[in-house]
Amino acid sequence: MNLDANARYKSQAISYTQAVAEIFYAVLEKKYPLDKELKSYFRQHGECGSRDRYAISESCFSLFRWFGWLDSRLPKGMPAKPFESQKFCHALAAALWLEGHNDLPFFSSLIDQTRIDVSFMSSTPNDIQGKIKGLGHFFKLRKLDAAQLIPEWFVPILPDGTDVNALIDSLQRRPPVWIRIQNKSHIRVKKELEKREVVFFEHPHCLNAIRIQDTKFRANEFLGYQSGDFEIQDLASQCIGLVCQAKTDHVWWDVCAGAGGKSLMLADEMQGKGRCVATDIREDLLDKLKPRARRGKFKNISVSPIGDVCASTNMFDGVLVDAPCSCTGIWRRNPDLKWTTKVDACMKATQAQLDICEMASKKVKKGGVLVYATCSLSVEENENCVRAFLKKEKDFQLEGFANPLNGKPCDGQCRISFQPFDNDGMFVARLRKS
Ligand SMILES: C[S@@+](CC[C@H](N)C(=O)[O-])C[C@H]1O[C@@H](n2cnc3c(N)ncnc32)[C@H](O)[C@@H]1O
């Protein structure tokens, strides 16, 4: 490498390290979500191109994913000049190595800066034990175990018998991209993926779900995405939509629709017929649904204030409560939440979840269904919430369905587990009103 290139890489490393430290410490101090902090940082730093954004975002995600092992080695507050902080650069280099990002050009500048001997550095092992060995060997980080990668309060809130090591292993993996084909566009979507040499995997049971193996997949560059042939949606979320079993003559209410991922799926399951009413306490989020619905050419979705739906005489064949929760099942996507969420988040959410279910249940027709879902792994927000609801609302009963992941029957509630398909962790219950 010539001197000019060296100097360029070093100055890039100085500015990346500064950006990463600013964002990382801001998230820790303000307990503000990393994805929002990144958005706000890049809004203020228009000079960052796509490569810069990629390197900075991936560095921040890596630091939070492996924070449990790096915490004690990181400076307690933001260093004045992060690139001159041996501790910060060392922890960041270790995080990038753990995440398999040693190909980022600024990784080598961090290594030079910290004088880590990389002469025999191997590529990152896939398993936790291999990573522990590598960290000890190359980065001299010792006394590590898998349990340090999750907060202490986490295991007690899980169902009895949870395989904690397998769970940690899943939580430490970067989530793949799943797409959901809509409007029966399978042939067109697969042709475009093949033409652009994207490696993909078709789910054997969820027939609209495709996992993209390419880590740098950019949906908006695909014609199929621009024309509404597919949406980005994790497999677990697609499972929730399938448990709804929406029919073409149904009217559904998606109570907590957010940006409308599940409303779009319900609209597609109803083949553009029937109707799906989307609401959310945050009406600004619903603005994101409108262009998505237009792209998918769904005329059967309408957006409404919650109050209007409650006040109307309309009753629904199906009501979906995709409830706000502690989000422990999507920690892979938001690893910062592992360290900024407190155990009471799981406890506090349950009352709100129960209130939303009760409000929503009033609008389920006799013979209709209420589907309750969360992306939480806690017993409190899932099985206990359903139990408390059933205790109060005597005209609802759990109704069995086939687990969309594998077709196996379940008794009306099930957990969508991370493996074997590499998706988020979710919970879903289907309740029939008699
Ligand atoms: C898990 S997210 C929903 C995600 C969305 N269904 C999707 O598929 O993209 C939960 C949503 O519930 C909304 N929410 C929180 N409290 C609510 C309430 N009392 N009534 C309706 N929506 C609520 C939040 O604003 C948030 O958008």
Burial status of residue 91 (CB atoms within 10 A of its CB: 0-12, 13-18, 19 or more): buried
Residue 385 C-alpha to ligand 1 middle, in angstroms? 16
Give the whole-angstrom CA distance, residue 55 versus residue 105. Answer: 9
| pLDDT given for residue 159 in this prediction | 97
- Cβ 89 vs Cβ 56: under 8 Å: no
pLDDT of residue 361: 98
Looking at residue 426, its amino acid is: M
Six-digit token string for 268: 């597609």
Ramachandran category for residue 223: left, alpha or beta (phi over 0 → left; psi -120 to 50 → alpha): alpha
How many C-beta atoms lie closer than 10 Å to residue 184's C-beta?
11
**Range list of β-strands (E), 18-106:** none
Distance CA 65, CA 339 (A): 10
* CA count, 13 A, side-chain hemisphere, 418: 23
Burial group, residue 87, by CB count within 10 angstroms (0-12, 13-18, 19+): middle
Q: Structure tokens of 30? A: 């303000």
Task: Output the CA–CA distances (angstroms, integers) from residue 325 to 306, 318, 335, 349, 385, in the order listed.
Answer: 19, 21, 16, 6, 11
Closest CA to 221 of 212, 357, 22: 212
Give the model's pLDDT for residue 10: 84
The answer to whether 413 and 369 have CB atoms below 8 angstroms apart is no
Is there an atom of ligand 1 within 6 Å of 353 CB? no
171 Cα–ligand 1 center, Å: 23
Opening angle at CA 405, ends 399 and 410, nearest 5: 25
CA 81 to each of CA 8, 20, 89, 92: distance values in angstroms, whole numbers, following the listed order:
18, 12, 11, 14
Ligand 1 center to 303 CA (angstroms): 14
How far apart CA 229 and CA 27 sit, in angstroms, is 36
| Tokens encoding 148 | 């340090």
How much distance in Å is there from the Cα of 110 to the middle of ligand 1? 41
Q: Ligand 1, from 243, 281, 423: best to mutate by most atoms within 8 Å of Cβ?
A: 281
Q: 400 CA to middle of ligand 1, Å?
A: 25
Could you tell me how many residues make up the chain?
434
Report whether residue 414 contacts ligand 1, using a CB cutoff of 6 Å: no
State the pLDDT at residue 178: 98
Conformational region of residue 272, where left means phi above 0, alpha means psi within -120 to 50, and beta covers everything else: left
Count of beta carbons in the 10 Å neighbourhood of residue 99: 20
Whether 303 lines ligand 1, by a CB cut-off of 6 Å, is: no
Amino acid letter, 417: S
CA–centroid distance, 23 to ligand 1, in Å, is 26
**Can you give the pLDDT at residue 279?**
98
Q: Which residues of the chain have pLDDT under 70?
A: 1-3, 119-120
- Cα 15 versus chain centre, distance: 28
- Given this model, what pLDDT does residue 405 score? 96
List the structure tokens of 98.
């753990």
Closest C-alpha to ligand 1, atom 6: 257
Tell me which of 264, 277, 280 to substitute to probe ligand 1's pocket, judged by most ligand atoms within 8 Å of the beta carbon. Answer: 280
Residues forming beta bridges with residue 303, ordered by sequence position: 278
Strand 200-202 versus strand 251-254 pairing type: unpaired
